[in-house]
Amino acid sequence: MIKFWSYKKEYKKYKSQLLKTIDNSITSGNIFFGKQLNNFEKNFIKKYKSKYGIAVGSGTDALSISLLALGIKKGDEVITVANTAIPTISAIINSGAVPKLTDIGDDYLIDCKKIEKLINKKTKAIIPVHLYGQTCKMNKIIKIAKKYKIEIIEDCAQSQGSKFKNKFAGTFGKFGCFSFYPTKILGAYGDGGFILTNDYKFYKKIKRIRFYGIETVDKKNKFLNKYYSNENGLNSKLDEIQSSILNFKLKHVDKFIKRRAQLAKIYLKELQETNLILPQQNYLTKHVYHLFTVYHPKKKLIVDHLAKNKIETRVMYPYPIHSMKPYKKLLLKKKDLLNTEIKSKGIFCLPLYPELTNQEVKRICSKIKDCLKKNKL
């Protein structure tokens, strides 16, 4: 069986080091807000060349805290895409705002040409989703945001380490939001998230919101580090155990990304003569291949054939946001999300993670080609 994703080989490889790291964090006497968290936050900020940042409980929390910090509220509107994970949308709705959905391009990322027509006096922010491991065309998005004086919150859950014009995803907007869900490029053995920002004022604010609104930064505040809420906040902490695991894995993340690129290169070479639509790397971007997403109108035939040959696949995402029961009212006209509709019917993802072998990737490609040949596709 070739699993779509598995942490077991990774754990086996680093087991002794991970267990030592975990033991150190437990015996330190701190469960939250200790040395492990401080070290991880400093290292993550430094690695991705941001000024400030905080670790939080999940990628969803990262989005929610960012929206709350910007004062996004009932009656406001936030522009994003329908080809995304549910949390992007639920975070907006839970803030009280209304998501305004725009279409994607052939690269599965936000179609910048269609953003402006959604902007009005209620528009307060844009959330570009850097999907599958590739950064959106941030130069165009920044230009639009500046023109209309609206903020940018980057959803970087699938793009840690990716770049646009040699600048890291998550450092273009007011906030960059990351997820450490286990399947991500940098995955916890639990959950976690991160918010990057270059704005000190908002850094102080998100740090308060993370922990019930309690002040932990501003030394002039008379309630500094006291159990006193300065504003309404959440409970979103990254514990010491997950911090220690992530800090250990952060040292290896470039190696993880390099290995993903090597496997993607094999896929691209082996499948280039097929009629599958393969991932494209946009001009001026660095793709980190969080997912290897392909398209074929006969998706089900191929996916079923692979399953029969004990090869797992996934569809990200089988149902566009506007087709789900709670969000159907978000679609105004079907033609507005035409490309999203088309892509969702044919996209699927092939296994890709550092512990996958070259031979396994070649076997997957061989089975795909067998299916295409057998069915004359």
- Output DSSP code: residue 104: B
pLDDT of residue 64: 98
DSSP string for residues in 215-229: --S-TT-TTTTSS-B
CATH number corresponding to 8-250: 3.40.640.10
pLDDT of residue 194: 98
**Intrachain domains 8-250 and 253-374 with the same fold:** no
| Torsion angle defined by CA atoms of residues 4, 10, 11 and 16, in that order, rounded to the nearest 10 degrees | 170
**Considering the entire predicted model, what is its pTM?**
0.96
Say if residue 71 is exposed, middle or buried (CB neighbours under 10 Å; 0-12, 13-18, 19+): exposed
Tokens standing for 371? 């299916």
Q: Mean per-residue pLDDT for 6-31? A: 94
pLDDT of residue 334: 73
pLDDT digits (tens, 9 = 90+) for 24-51: 999 999 999 999 999 999 999 999 999 9
Asked if the model's pLDDT at residue 282 lies above 80, the reply is yes
pLDDT digits (tens, 9 = 90+) for 290-307: 999 999 999 999 999 999
Q: Of 206, 180, 203, 176, which is closest to residue 191 (Cα–Cα)? A: 180
pLDDT of residue 162: 98
pLDDT digits (tens, 9 = 90+) for 120-160: 999 999 999 999 999 999 999 999 999 999 999 999 999 99
Asked if the model's pLDDT at residue 188 lies above 90, the reply is yes
In words, the CATH class of domain 253-374 is alpha beta
Q: What is the mean pLDDT of the chain?
A: 96
Q: Which residue has the higher pLDDT, 79 or 223?
A: 79
Give the three-class secondary structure for 290: coil
pLDDT digits (tens, 9 = 90+) for 265-277: 999 999 999 999 9
Neighbours of 226 (CB within 10 A): 12
Domain locations in the chain? 8-250, 253-374
pLDDT digits (tens, 9 = 90+) for 294-349: 999 999 999 999 999 999 999 998 899 999 999 988 877 778 899 999 999 999 99
pLDDT band at 353 (very low <50, low <70, confident <90, very high): very high
pLDDT of residue 216: 87
DSSP string for residues in 165-182: TTEETTSSSSEEEEE--T
Neighbours of 170 (CB within 10 A): 27
